[in-house]
Amino acid sequence: MKRIFEVLFPLGPNSLANEGLSRLRKAVSPLAFALCLLIAGGRSGLARNNMAAGRLSRLRKAVSRLALALCLLIAGGRSGLAQTTAPFTPAYIFLSGIEYDYYGKTGFSVNSIFGARLGNSKPFYSYTTLETTATAATLRSGIGYTFLQSGNWSAVALGDAGVFNSAGASLGSFSGGGLILYDLGSKLAKGDRHFYIAGGVRLLGVSSQTVQPVGVVMLGAGF
């Protein structure tokens, strides 16, 4: 029986599919063995009783339908397991958008972020942020951490520090907060392209001035 299952459903290179198919084989094998014993017992009864032959014929039809359903279930489960992929984590990401500081009354500013992943597997990023208005500019660098990723959604915590310049005066600047990103490109292009829409809130401070909350909406791409 084990050999029959191996011929019908050979294991592939995908380890996740192998594990799922192995579990299905273990679950199905006892049932298949019991069905074989039932059919064998029915065959010996067939030689003794014509009425048993009719019952055995109906039983065989029911068993055939059940076996077909089990085969389709295994094939479908294997296909689903083989298609399972890990969420995309970009090596580089660029975002740009509009930021508004309502409480600080500084109005709108253009906010651009460039991030580069640190290492091959860790969800840490080195971020550089540039904010510009008609009268001032801020350049900060810091660290981002992707603490949640599910499907096309991800959430990133950010913290950075740098320099604020306005009218020839330079002051220290810092911020902390987070972004929620949705990979719209992956949704539309079936995983071949990665274009993001993002929104977030940060606490922004300049030297000894009051720390103010700011909101931002951004668009960008990941590579």
Domain total in the chain: 2
Give the single-character DSSP code of 211: P
Q: How would you label 165-189 residue by residue, b for 16+ Cβ within 10 Å and e otherwise?
A: eeeeeeeebbbebbbebbbebbeee
C-alpha 117/C-alpha 125 separation (Å) is: 4
End of a domain among 82, 103, 122? 82
Q: What is the pLDDT along the chain (223 residues), one digit of tens a residue?
A: 445 445 444 555 444 445 554 664 565 555 555 555 555 555 444 445 555 566 667 766 766 676 666 666 665 555 544 445 677 889 999 999 999 876 556 678 899 999 999 987 778 999 999 998 888 899 999 999 999 998 899 999 999 999 999 888 899 999 999 999 999 988 888 777 899 999 999 998 888 677 888 999 999 999 8
Task: Tell me the angle at which helices 15-46 and 50-82 cross, rounded to the nearest 10 degrees.
Answer: 180
In a domain, 87, yes or no: no
Handedness of CA 86, 87, 90, 91 (dihedral sign): negative
Whether 204 contacts 101, CB under 8 Å: yes
115 & 39 share domain = no
CATH code at position 181: 2.40.160
Q: What is the pTM of this model?
A: 0.61
In a domain, 177, yes or no: yes
Domain coverage including residue 15? 2-82
